[in-house]
């Protein structure tokens, strides 16, 4: 079984619930998820926390079906038949991997505007793990 322990999951709550990034004090690059050394200048390790807007654009995506899901999601994949995983470019620059909800798989497009929402991601050790998923901004696509 895949494993992210409860304390470990909690420690990463700033990234999982609130989309907190680290802005480099030297070059201004916004690092998300956090890095030891800034991804922009590759020198500085001094950061300030910034809350990301949770708004972004789909850079790429896939619809996962047929046994290609990690076990946390195989129930979800079996019950829904499929789910959408997207690589999203946030307006502040960083890209992230997240599931897309409130959107029919056939309506997903690269370049589509999306925003974050807190959802149940999976359940492990009897504890529901919450985190961000994204949904289309435009009503008509839902």
Residues of this chain that interact with ligand COA (CB under 6 A) are: 67-68
> In the stretch 6-35, what mask flags binding to Zn ion with x, by CB under 5 A?
------------------x-xx-x------
**Helix segments in the chain, DSSP class H:** 6-11, 13-16, 71-80
Number of helices (H), then strands (E), belonging to the chain: the values are 3, 8
How far apart are alpha carbons 75 and 46 in whole angstroms?
A: 42
In the block, tokens 């998820």 appear at: 33
Give the alpha-carbon dihedral of 95, 97, 101, 103, to 10 degrees. Answer: 60
Only segment of 22-30, 46-54, 91-99 that touches another protein (CB under 8 A): 91-99
Of 36 and 111, CB closest to Zn ion? 36
Only segment of 20-28, 48-56, 79-87 that touches another protein (CB under 8 A): 79-87
Selection from ligand COA, Zn ion, another protein, none that 38 binds (CB < 5 to 8 A by kind) is Zn ion
Contact predicate 92/82, CB 8 Å: no
By CB under 8 A, residue 21 contacts another protein: no
Q: Residue 51: CA atoms inside 13 Å, Cβ hemisphere, count?
A: 5
By CB under 8 A, residue 62 contacts another protein: yes
Write out the residues near another protein by the rule CB under 8 A. Answer: 1-2, 4, 12, 15, 33, 39, 59-74, 76, 83, 85-87, 94-99, 105, 110, 121-122, 131
């Amino acid at each position: 079984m895949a494993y992210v322990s409860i304390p470990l999951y909690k420690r990463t709550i700033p990234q999982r619930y609130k989309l907190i990034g680290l802005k480099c004090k030297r070059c201004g690059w916004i690092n998300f998820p956090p890095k030891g050394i800034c991804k922009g200048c590759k020198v500085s390790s001094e950061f300030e926390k910034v809350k990301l807007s949770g708004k972004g654009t789909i850079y790429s995506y896939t619809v996962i079906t047929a046994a290609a899901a990690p076990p946390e999601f195989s129930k979800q994949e079996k019950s829904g038949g499929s789910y959408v995983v997207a690589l999203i470019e946030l307006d502040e620059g960083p890209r992230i991997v997240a599931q897309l909800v409130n959107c029919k798989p056939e309506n997903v497009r690269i370049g589509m505007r999306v925003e974050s929402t807190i959802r149940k991601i999976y359940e492990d050790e009897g504890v529901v793990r919450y985190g961000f998923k994204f949904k289309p901004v435009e009503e008509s696509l839902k």
